[in-house]
Structure 1
Amino acid sequence: MEIEYLISILEKRLKNPLPGKEAHFQMAPTPVDMRRFDPKLPENHRKSGVLILFYPEEGKAYFPLIKRPDYPGVHGGQIALPGGKMEELDEDLIQTALREAEEEIGVSRSQVRVIGQMSPLFIPTSNFLVNPVVGFVLEKPQMKPEEKEVQRIIETPVSRIFASEFRRRKILELGSGIKLDTPYFEIDGEMVWGATAMILSELIHLLAEE
């Protein structure tokens, strides 16, 4: 998909009602943790912003994913979108996403043109409400992983998340005997699942409508 066409679609679709829960469900591990979709969130929930950053590569649209380093915690070693928690000095969640992306992959926030935001998604295990921000740059940026927070950057063609051969399922065995039937995207040898896959599912819905 060419980036100019992709941007034109998203500029239009992000002004309309979003699929949200319908799209998220399609890539949600089962049994589904319905706390994700409870309109009443915990009072102590934390806000975060992630950035879906589109850029051109040989005329096609790409976006970066990152692999977190292995560390104690629910998200260690997982594939994610650049982003993190909202800080007191952030004006809003758009600024959170831009700041975190600049810190984690080295793309200056001043270069990014923001199109809009997708549906927020609550992650019960970490108590974060994740707000996906959509933006683009017109030239491929020079990206550099922040050593402490990013193990590697995965440059991902948008076409990859539409291809059926890269959609898989497996049983994930977590602690305390928990087993999840988990849909995921296989991208560059990595398993993209959970909240990141659910956010990408909404992106697919938005683009597929065209």
Structure 2
Amino acid sequence: MTLPTIDPRTVPVTQVDSHLPAIEHQSLQADALRSRFATPPAWQPEFLAEKKFMDREPMPAAVLLPIVQRPEPTVLLTLRTPHLSTHSGQIAFPGGKVDETDTNVVAAALREAQEEIGLDAHFVEVLGQLPIYITGSAFHIAPVVALVSPGFALSPNPYEVADVFEVPLAYLMNPAHHRHHRTDWQGVQREWLSIPYQDHQTERFIWGATAGMLRNFYQFLRA
């Protein structure tokens, strides 16, 4: 089993989506998001499955897409530690594999967020789910979108999480920051999205599955 050794930062950008409209400020507020999930529109996700690079049985997983209810809403993201067996060193949503003891993917996402970053479910209001996203490593990820009330205290698991940070939701929902990449690896053409964000002195390079799920969220809000 060979894992890709691609440095996504070095792969040329083929397109930037500055021609697409950003989601309006009012549509990113809590009440608007609740309304959107209560009566979802007809829409089509843009990113659903990556080309496989691991030959194994599908692995059900769930992540929390946590929108912190600040005056300007943010998305809570993690940086995975570099020694993990898959997707090491990448930016991700809190989440992981669905256990047999989990009643559903929502329970799995809430449990994983608690275990991974110490986010207490008391602060979380689940809004709904986005379509399953299949990674090249055979994870079948259910993105659970939720509002998070401020006042929480985090305690990241140092084995899994190198850092936890927030990115403005408006920035992520503006396609002018969405960049498309394409490259060949072992005879297979691979494509992905990136959403780089300059966090003071640190560049947060959001790409792959996390960027793809954020793009699907954008399409859901835009529809």
What's the TM-score once normalised by structure 1's chain length? 0.78
Q: CA shift at 1:113, angstroms?
A: 1.2
1:95 equivalent in structure 2: 107
Q: CA shift at 1:195, angstroms?
A: 1.3
- Could you tell me the percent identity over the aligned residues? 27
What is the one-letter code of the residue matched to 1:184?
Answer: S
- Whether 1:8 aligns to 2:20 is no
Return closer, same or farther for 1:20/1:4 CA change in 2, 3 Å cut-off.
closer
The whole-number CA distance in structure 2 between the counterparts of 1:141 and 1:160 is 23
State the Cα RMSD in Å: 2.9
- Whether 1:186 aligns to 2:187 is no
Contact 2:30 2:69 in 1 (8 A): no
Contact 1:3 1:56 in 2 (8 A): no
1:1-210 pair list within 5 angstroms: 6-14=29-37, 15-16=39-40, 19-21=43-45, 23-24=46-47, 33=51, 44-57=57-70, 59-71=71-83, 73-123=85-135, 125-164=136-175, 166-170=177-181, 176=186, 180-187=190-197, 188=199, 189-209=203-223
What is the one-letter code of the residue matched to 2:58?
Answer: H
Q: CA shift at 1:168, angstroms?
A: 2.9
Q: CA shift at 1:18, angstroms?
A: 5.7
The whole-number CA distance in structure 2 between the counterparts of 1:146 and 1:113 is 22
Return closer, same or farther for 1:148/1:43 CA change in 2, 3 Å cut-off.
closer
Bigger helix share: 1
Contact 1:185 1:193 in 2 (8 A): yes
The whole-number CA distance in structure 2 between the counterparts of 1:82 and 1:50 is 6
Q: CA shift at 1:142, angstroms?
A: 2.2
- Residues 156-178 of structure 1: CA distance to partner in whole angstroms, max 9, x if unpaired? 1101113455333445675x465
The whole-number CA distance in structure 2 between the counterparts of 1:7 and 1:48 is 26
2:15 equivalent in structure 1: none
Which ranges of structure 1 fall in alignment gaps of 5 or more residues? Answer: 36-41
Which ranges of structure 2 fall in alignment gaps of 5 or more residues? Answer: 1-23
2:21 equivalent in structure 1: none
- Residues 86-112 of structure 1: CA distance to partner in whole angstroms, max 9, x if unpaired? 111111110000010111111101321
Contact 1:55 1:141 in 2 (8 A): no
Contact 2:27 2:221 in 1 (8 A): no
The whole-number CA distance in structure 1 between the counterparts of 2:193 and 2:159 is 29
The whole-number CA distance in structure 2 between the counterparts of 1:82 and 1:72 is 14
- Residues 178-200 of structure 1: CA distance to partner in whole angstroms, max 9, x if unpaired? 56344310023122111111110
Contact 2:47 2:212 in 1 (8 A): yes
The whole-number CA distance in structure 2 between the counterparts of 1:137 and 1:121 is 23
Instruction: Count matched residues.
Output: 193
